[in-house]
Structure 1
């Protein structure tokens, strides 16, 4: 995979995981009274998982930028 494609994939992944995190956050904290306990626990686990995947996508982005000799932001 080329560095440009890797950078684009990492950027898209970061957006997707951020949206999923925000959705999970709103369901886990704002909708917890209307959900069963199992669903609330699942949403809290989803928060941890999406945050971890976001961080992996960010590191992938940094790797692609480093390979392309771009400034790391």
Structure 2
């Protein structure tokens, strides 16, 4: 994959995973009284999975920046 494409994809992925994490957090912690227990379990597990996917997207972003010769941050 080209570095520019990888950088764009990883940046987009980070934004998507962050937005999904915010939605899941809101549902799991502020709407818990309105949701069934199994859905709450799924939402809490989703928080861990989404955090991991966010970190993977960040690593791909660092790889793309390295390939482009940009400062890593």
Fold shared per TM-score above 0.5: yes
Task: Provide the aligned C-alpha RMSD in A.
Answer: 0.4
TM-score of the aligned structures, taking structure 1 as reference length:
0.98
SS of the residue corresponding to residue 71 of structure 1 reads: coil
Q: What is the aligned partner in structure 2 of residue 45 from structure 1?
A: 45
Q: What is the aligned partner in structure 1 of residue 33 from structure 2?
A: 33
Q: What is the aligned partner in structure 1 of residue 16 from structure 2?
A: 16
TM-score of the aligned structures, taking structure 2 as reference length:
0.98
Structure 1 residue 36: Cα displacement: 0.7
Q: Measure, in 1, the Cα distance between the counterparts of 2:36 and 2:15.
A: 29
Q: Measure, in 2, the Cα distance between the counterparts of 1:34 and 1:47.
A: 19
Give 5+ residue unaligned stretches, structure 2. none
Structure 1 residue 9: Cα displacement: 0.2
Structure 1 residue 60: Cα displacement: 0.3
